[in-house]
Structure 1
Amino acid sequence: MLAREARTADDFRAAWSAIEKTWAATVEEATALPEERLHQRVDDEWSFVETLRHLLHASDKWLGSPVLEEDDPYHPFGLGPENADPPGSASADSGPSLDEVLEARSARMATMRELVAGITDADLDRLCTRKPVGNDADADYDVRHCLRVVLVEEAEHHRYAVRDLASLTAG
């Protein structure tokens, strides 16, 4: 899996390109469904829209804050584990629309694309002065580690999204 194996700048570029292509095809498939289906949870897992919101949060947490050192890295649509509705919650279908989430995700994905396009192996070794919120405050995080977390989150949640879309399409 490219995401877990990324070590060099070229690896990160290849992995990010693959992730973008994979997600583009999946989003295209998802948009064939009625929007309300994309807010529907499958087996008490996050809905498709909630999954995209979580990926927005993960990018903000691991890219925006420690790597880019943005003053206000968290988009209000981001959905972290600490603010997710519990399984079976009636509010699983509330929140921003798919288009609103895709607009925010598109912007963050473009930021990642631009970063990896120009990143060098030496850049990947840079220690981040900011720590990802909620992680070990005493640990050192280099850019390579933070970007790999983004890649792995994208790849793993893509698997879940595809699985759940198959269920929504069949249902």
Structure 2
Amino acid sequence: MAAQYDNTDAFQGASFTMADLSATTFRSCDLRRIKIVDSWLMDVNVSGEIRNFRVNDVDVTAYVEAELDRRHPERARLREMRTADDFRATWETIERLWSETLARAERLPEAARHERVDDEWSLVETLRHLVFATDAWAGRAILDAPDPFHRLGLTHSGYPAEDAAALGIDLDARPAYAEVAQARVGRVALVRGILDGLTDAGLERACTRAPAPGYPAEPRTVGGCLRVVMEEECEHRRYTLRDLATLEAR
């Protein structure tokens, strides 16, 4: 069985020479300032927050971002949002795109909607995470709801299980797709309700409550919190489309 290292800084500043790291997985890791020299990089898949990413001395960051924007124009639209009307229009686009995506998913068997592709979240797990993201950034941070978290939400990787339990979240739940889809319908409506009455001035209102325990204490505005929700929606739909293609091909 392969060794597993969780929540460790034991390798910070380490040097590996002539080491076999094939088939190694790095998930939610801090890989800043990594240097890879004279190594074999074939069949490598990298995803995450990418900046100043150089391959053979060529910075490929701009190319990657431009290609992602070409495939998913909503990403560029999200970055360009300035007014409340911009936010409303972008959310309408996100709702429409997810509706099309879920229509595809619902043509698959129930088991496929629970299947992980390459050990990434299944569709059901992805929707559970989006429920959590909406609860945290919209329900708690923006609306200051006293008990915003749905039992079926799924926290991000690395969030302490005991903190999730304290929020009433059941990480071990194994709900059916229909149950999770219903929870998501309510969260989509929650965001739409916030946007319906939003003004340009309202975007700048300060949110005094952190999205969840453990999040850093820093200034947040309604507009900033909504951006996080929409970024989560856009990026996780991108991952879902990738995995749906694999499931449909089977």
Q: How does 1:16-27 map to 2 (within 5 A)?
A: 16-27=91-102
d(CA) in 2 for partners of 1:68 and 1:102? 22
Counterpart contact for 2:128–2:153, Cα < 8 Å? yes
Aligned partner (choices 95, 98, 105) of residue 30 of structure 1: 105
| Structure 1 spans left out of the alignment, 5+ residues | 85-92
Rg (Cα) greater in structure: 2
Structure 2 partner of 1:135: 215
The percentage of counterpart residues that share the same residue type is 52
The structure with more helix, counted as a fraction of residues: 1
Question: Which residue type is aligned with residue 215 of structure 2?
Answer: N
d(CA) in 2 for partners of 1:144 and 1:119? 10
Q: Is residue 5 from structure 1 mapped to residue 85 from structure 2 by the alignment?
A: no
Structure 1 partner of 2:51: none
Aligned partner (choices 154, 164, 174) of residue 95 of structure 1: 174
**Aligned-pair Cα RMSD in Å:** 1.5
CA pair 104-15 structure 1, distance change in 2 beyond 3 A: same
Aligned residues: 162
d(CA) in 2 for partners of 1:161 and 1:101? 15
Counterpart contact for 1:52–1:101, Cα < 8 Å? yes
d(CA) in 1 for partners of 2:160 and 2:231? 21
Q: Describe the superposition over 1:111-170 as per-residue Cα deviations: whole angstroms up to 9, x where unpaired.
A: 111211210011110001111223211x11110100000000000000000110000001
Counterpart contact for 1:61–1:73, Cα < 8 Å? yes
- Cα deviation for residue 24 of structure 1 reads 0.4
Q: Is residue 68 from structure 1 mapped to residue 123 from structure 2 by the alignment?
A: no
Q: How does 1:84-163 map to 2 (within 5 A)?
A: 95-133=174-212, 134-137=214-217, 139-163=218-242
Question: Which residue type is aligned with residue 6 of structure 1?
Answer: M
| Structure 2 spans left out of the alignment, 5+ residues | 1-75, 162-171
RCO higher in structure (CA 8 A, sep ≥6)? 1
Structure 2 partner of 1:51: 126
Describe the SS at the equivalent of 2:207.
coil
d(CA) in 2 for partners of 1:4 and 1:80? 25
Question: Which residue type is aligned with residue 160 of structure 1?
Answer: Y
TM-score by length of 1: 0.90
d(CA) in 2 for partners of 1:2 and 1:75? 29
